[in-house]
Every structure is written in C-alpha cells, then in structure tokens.
Amino acid sequence: MTDFPKIILREPAAAEFSAAVPTLLQRLYASRGLFRDADLESGLEHLPKPEMKGMAEACALLANALEKQHRLLIVGDFDCDGATSTSLAVLGLRALGAADVDYLVPNRFEYGYGLTPEIVAVAAERQPDLIITVDNGISSIDGVAAAAKLGIPVLVTDHHLPGDSLPQAAAIVNPNQHGCPFAGKSLAGVGVMFYVLLALRSELQQRGWFTGERAKPNLAEFLDLVALGTVADVVPLEHLNRILVEQGLRRIRAGRCRPGIQALLRVAGKESGRLVASDMGFSIGPRLNAAGRLDDMSLGIRCLLTEDADTALNLAAELDDLNRERRSIEQSMKDDAMRVLAHLQLDPTAVPNGICLYDPTWHQGVVGILASRIKDRYHRPVIAFADADGEEIKGSARSIPGLHMRDALDLIAKRHPGLLNKFGGHAMAAGMSLAKADYERFAKAFDAIVAELTSAEQLTAAVYSDGELTAEDLSLERAELLRGAGPWGQNFPEPLFHGRFRLVQQRIVGARHLKMVLAPEQGGEQIFDAIAFNIDTDVWPSPTTEYVELVYKLDSNLFRERLSLQLMVEHLRSL
C-alpha cells in the first residue's frame, strides 16, 4: 500500500455502442479505446490470419522436419511465458504429428537468458535436427552462429524487440521484427508460437498430411496455456490478446484445461469456475515463475505437460513451496532496499530519477520482483542488481509509463560504449549485465537518462480513476457485471474508482491486511466489506479515523458458497 496518489479522472471519448451494452460499461470501454460493439467480439473467428514475416519459411522448415521425422528440440525461457511457450510447442507439434519433440530450458544461474553458445553445446548432445526457440532468440546472434557451425538449423520464434542485427537463423517469426506486416505487435511469446502452430497446420493440410489415423488437431485445446502466458507476461491486452485470453479463460472455467493448470489453481485456493485474468497473473503465474527464479523452470514445464492429475498436483505443491520461499527472500531484499532508500530520503535532492540498487547478498532470481515493488512504492524506473558469475552483475529493470526501458538502455549503450555487456527487453521491463566495477558509473548514467527522458509529472505517482460510483452502483450486481466484462489487464486496466466513505469497522487480518466495513459518506443503511493489502501497520488500524478516502476496485467475494460485495482497496487515507 503506497502513499495516496494524485487522482486523474478518465475521460471517455464518444462511442457508438448499441443499447445491448450497459451504460456503465459503455463509459468504461470508451475510456479504454473501444467505441463499438465489434470491438468487444471475442470469438476465434475474429483472430487475424497468421500472416507474419518469415512464417512461410518457418512452416516449410517445420513441415519438412515432420515429414522426415526429424528430431526437434525446443529451447525456451525461464519465466511463465517461456514455460507456457515451451509446453505449447511440445504439445502442439506432437498433436500435429511430430515424431520426436524434446525441450531444454537454460538454468538462469548457469547459462543466462536465450540461445547462448553454451546452451547450444548442451543442446547438441541431444543431436537435434532442428532447434526451435520460443520466447527468445531474436538477440541470440552468437548462439545461432554456434548452432550453424554444428550443422543445426535454428527456427527463432520470439516477441522481444530486435536489435540492430538479427541472427542468421533458418527462419525468424517475430511480429516486432522490421518489415513484419502483422498488426498484433503485442503478442507474448506463447501467442507467437500459437500462431506458428496455426500456420503449420494449414501448411500440413495443403500437403495432405492429415489422412487415415492422423487427424487434424483442434489447436483451441491449448488456449489455456496461451491465456496464462499472455497474462503472466504483462503484454498489452489489445483486441487480439483479449480474444486469446478470453477463449483460454472460458476453457479453464469449463474445466477443459491442462491438469497442471487445474492443480496450480487448487494449491492457490482459486475456484476455476470464477477465474478471471488477474488470477492468472497473481496466483498461477508467480508459482510457475518461482521455479525459474529459484530452481529450474523444467519443474514448471513438467507440471504443464503431464496428463496425470496426481502428478500435476505433486508438482504444483512443489511450485507452491518454491513460491513461498521466493516471497520470503523477496521480503528480506525489499527490507534491505527500503533501508537504503530511507537514507536517501533524508536529503530529498538525493533521491535519483532512476533508481539503481545492488547488494551482493541478493538473489539473482528475485531482483525483477524487487524492482517492481520499489517502482510501485516510489514511482520511479528501478533496476535491481545481484551478483552473477565472476566480476559481473545482472540487473532486472521495471519502468513507469512514459519511459521505454529498452530504448533507455540502448541510449546508454550508445553514449557509453562497453558499459553494458548485454541488454534486452520491452518498454516496461528489461534485463542487462555489466561489470561489477562499473555499477556506480552505470547508476549515474541511468539516472541522467531518466532525468532527460521524463518530466516531473511523469515521476509523480498518479492513478487514473473511472470516477465515483453512486450508492446504486455499489452493488453485487455491478461487481459481477464488471467481473465478466474483461478480460482486464495491461493497457486495458480493470476499472478503478475513488470515493469517500464512513469507516464502520477496521481490523488487521493476516500479517498486514486491513479488513474494513464501510458505509456511504452521507449515511444510510447500506454497508459493505473492503480490504486493503500490505498496509502500513504503524498507521492502521486508526481508532480516531471516522472517514476515509479510497481508490478501489469493485469486486465480489465468494466465501462459504456465499457471494458478497467487496471493495479491493488500492490506496486509502484518513480524512
């Protein structure tokens, strides 16, 4: 729970919705760039065709490999998008008739990210006829070259932004590569792989591949994986991604999903029938990510691949244990970081525009989450570093709206040649490595770049509110309407409201959560529950507080088979 931010009211543009769309939703949609009923279509028939640069070459390569029964090796990434991409590639290619498909995920602590020459050497021991990268590869110039020297062609499927040079792969499918006409630039790695499978199925059908016992598979069966990876990777939920996520959610709610996803929901205490996109981002994704952060992502992939429910549950329990350990490590690191920043705050001029943090005791797998937490607390771009091998440190960056993190790092690399050993990523998140001896110089360079590229307004915490709700709108019916009106997510945010309320009751639940009973500020008999997570226990509960101002989400809570209205409080302050 951060300090109370500046509230900016969302202003909906003119829209042309029919009367079938409730008035409240019309206003919410119009302020998020949707203006007509067609923008809300979520059927698979509304997906754009898989017409991407490099797709024809990729499908020919894969179809030839299937016909020749070649040995295929998937090389993935160690986050949730990578795990779902790898699982999707293995399952999808097998469903399409591949005779031999295996996977390999680099351990982040031994090999780092992507198709490096070192991981190619490991891959070569399995004697693959073709390496397929998922959720990585666009920057793996040396790795692809190393594979070529060994006579192993590489198909790159990725969604990360390309650098100035591309690897000399047999084929590259990435909607963000230069010259790609595909409009869906926001696909996650798992979304790119799904499109490759769709296009490959068409290519195989044209070749007369699906005959006799070899049936044409229904690739929609894998949309649960696509939805999970898309939400967990926090890519913008543009129309294409909303369709993929909504279709995946429908399958999960109906119980038609991977046993591993069912098991992860069970250990997280989530009801599959009421699953929403945020549950995948906050409950399932972190448990999968914990494997890649603390151990080996192959544990998470095995959970997603298994067809056996009992095996899935055992693996999900292991992932849940790792996630608990991750949370403990993260809290300790956050306490360290907050002590450092508290010293800086003694002198307001010492708080940097761009925050860099490093501690030799920090865990390399958790610095990304730490950077995200500190970014949320201070509303500054943050890079957290941990020791890597030898004299190198690795950093994980999280940005704020208005600062494109990868572009900022690219500018640093151009102005300070040799300062960064490696870097890559997105607008809102990136990773990098540099010499430990260069940390202070990099921290100053990052601070200077952030100061140059951002304004004071951008560095001031603010939230966009959809306004105040009337007493009539503060209802379970409205909460259920909003719950089903998504999927909500990155660049298509869940509705957020603000208002003043009378504080009827307050108590701490768990370690640091404030449970409240509220009533409208102007009185009346209506009361409802609210909860604020991770509050400052030095301030709350506050026996002298009678009225509060909140920024909140309207939600419903299922407890002992009873649904009730609940406000999910993002920010609060006494009045």
| SS3 of 373-399 | HHHHHHCCCEEEEEECCCCEEEEEEEC
CB 55 within 8 A of CB 95: no
Fold of 49-220: inorganic pyrophosphatase (n-terminal core) (3.90.1640)
According to DSSP, residue 492 is labeled: B
> What CATH number matches the domain at 354-453, 3.90.79.10, 3.40.50.670, 3.10.310.30, 3.30.2320.20?
3.10.310.30
For range 158-180, the mean pLDDT: 95
Domain boundaries, the chain: 6-30+465-574, 49-220, 354-453
Mean of pLDDT over the chain: 93
Is residue 208 scored above 90 in pLDDT? yes
Output the pLDDT for position 408. Answer: 95
Output the pLDDT for position 538. Answer: 87
- Structure confidence by residue, pLDDT tens digits, 78-108: 899 999 999 999 999 999 999 999 999 887 7
Domains 49-220 and 354-453 equal at CATH topology level: no
Output the pLDDT for position 444. Answer: 95
- Structure confidence by residue, pLDDT tens digits, 528-569: 999 999 888 889 999 999 999 999 999 998 887 889 999 999
Q: How confident is the model at residue 438 (pLDDT cuts 50, 70, 90)?
A: very high
> For residue 94, which of 193, 217, 227 has the smallest C-alpha distance?
217
Q: How confident is the model at residue 1 (pLDDT cuts 50, 70, 90)?
A: low
Output the pLDDT for position 175. Answer: 97
Domain spanning 6-30+465-574 has what CATH number? Answer: 2.40.50.460
Retrieve residue 246's tokens.
């909504």
Output the pLDDT for position 440. Answer: 96
- CA dist., res. 105 & res. 119, Å (int): 9
- Structure confidence by residue, pLDDT tens digits, 493-526: 999 999 999 999 999 998 889 999 999 988 778 8
Q: How confident is the model at residue 376 (pLDDT cuts 50, 70, 90)?
A: confident
- Structure confidence by residue, pLDDT tens digits, 330-362: 889 888 888 877 776 656 567 789 999 999 999
CB 27 within 8 A of CB 136: no
Length of the chain: 575
Q: How confident is the model at residue 387 (pLDDT cuts 50, 70, 90)?
A: very high
